[in-house]
Chains A and B, each alone.
Chain A
Amino acid sequence: MQGRAQKKVAGGKLVKVWVEYTPGKILNVQILGDFFLHPEEGIERLEKSVVGVSLPTTQDTLATILKKTLRNQRMELLGAHPPDIAEAIMEAMVHG
């Protein structure tokens, strides 16, 4: 299954996600939008960090994984926050 969702973040940036998933697992995620991530090449690592997560999951679980990846990889997200991305991923799997 596939789903898309977007979330307007406080401050004006837009996070768009595309998620491919089965009933039991996230298979693929793409995080798009007009936010900033430093270094930019880290986006694929951030996306991969939520691939393989067992479903059902929660927004908090996904946000924690994203936060940990940012911290471990010394990446800085500007204009969006892990809970925003997590919320969009959850929404893509409910409504997408």
Chain B
Amino acid sequence: MDNETWRVVKLEQRNGFENMALDQAISEDISKGTSPPTIRFYEWEPSAVTIGYFQSLKQEVDVENCLKQGVDIIRRITGGGAVYHDTRGEITYSVIAREGMFPSDLTETYKRIGDWIIDSLDELGIVSQFHPINDIIAYGKKISGNAQTRRNGVMHQHGTILYDVDVEKMFSLLKVDDIKILDKIITSVKDRVTSVQHISQKSKPELADALVHGFTQNKQYEFGTWTPHELERMNELVETKYSTREWNYWR
């Protein structure tokens, strides 16, 4: 089942529009059979807020503050919630492969890839567990959130592993339903979210290495990069989809 050779692309930085467009470009080429199953790790430069496919941008994001702070805003093709992707504060991954390489059950797939995250964190001495539907928790607090979609025979899951969290900054960019209780919300999120740096003294490169190990163990893989076609399609999708008002303000 898992006998195809994976392409692994080590940690790189891109802006949010490119990050989401590249995921789609890879997915399309895997569907056509011209790209291999792929694991990529990336950061967001500049920092960005992504919203889930079904969310309203205006309801979830403080657009003015994002603009002021130079934070990009992008709608994902996956469901789930709004996420603040701090350049320093996290590592994001995408796993993109033919559907047949994963369980048909969505939750089982969250669990399968969740195990790779759990193994990576274990290498850093962090004990974590899968928390359905789509989270990984460490010591009772969320350390990783994940989102999955399936299109044209391709399974595409992306998610973040929190390295350091700035909850105050996060809530200056995301809207809360009741501003009067913002302090309470911040305290409650601090109680529910943790990060690698909060638990261990490991560096971000150590987290990046651990993720490569955790995601590739028991797999055939080689380190690789993007094909010219993937990059060309990424640029096209940035222009025609991910940076457009039609897409981002769709709801």
Contacts and interface: CB of A to CB of B under 8 A. Distances in A.
Give the size range of A's interface with the partner.
20 to 34
A34 interface: yes
Given A32-B54, A34-B54, A35-B54, A40 B79 contact: yes
A30 B58 CA distance: 14
B97 to A, nearest CB: 16
Interface in B45-85: 52-56, 59, 77-82
A38 B109 CA distance: 14
B23 to A, nearest CB: 14
A36 B147 contact: yes
A16 B175 CA distance: 14
B151 interface: yes
A38 B54 contact: no
A interface majority secondary structure = strand
B112 to A, nearest CB: 16
Nearest to B80: A34
A76 B54 contact: no
A76 B132 CA distance: 16
A37 B151 contact: no
Contact of A36 (B79, B82, B177, B251): B79
A11 interface: yes
A39 B189 CA distance: 30
Contacts of A34: 52, 54-55, 79-82
Interface in B164-219: 177
Interface residues of B, number: 24
B61 to A, nearest CB: 13
B interface majority secondary structure = loop
Nearest to A36: B79
Contacts of B59: 16, 32
A33 B106 contact: no
Nearest to B77: A40
B126 interface: no
Nearest to A32: B56
Nearest to B147: A36
Given A33-B54, A33-B55, A78-B133, A38 B150 contact: yes
Given A40-B53, A78-B107, 16 more contacts: A13-B133, A14-B81, A16-B59, A30-B251, A34-B55, A34-B80, A34-B82, A36-B80, A37-B54, A38-B149, A39-B149, A39-B150, A40-B77, A40-B78, A43-B53, A78-B79
Interface of B: 52-56, 59, 77-82, 106-107, 132-134, 147-151, 177, 251
19 contacts: A14-B81, A32-B54, A32-B59, A33-B55, A34-B79, A34-B80, A34-B82, A36-B106, A36-B147, A36-B148, A39-B149, A39-B150, A39-B151, A40-B78, A43-B54, A76-B106, A79-B79, A79-B133, A79-B134
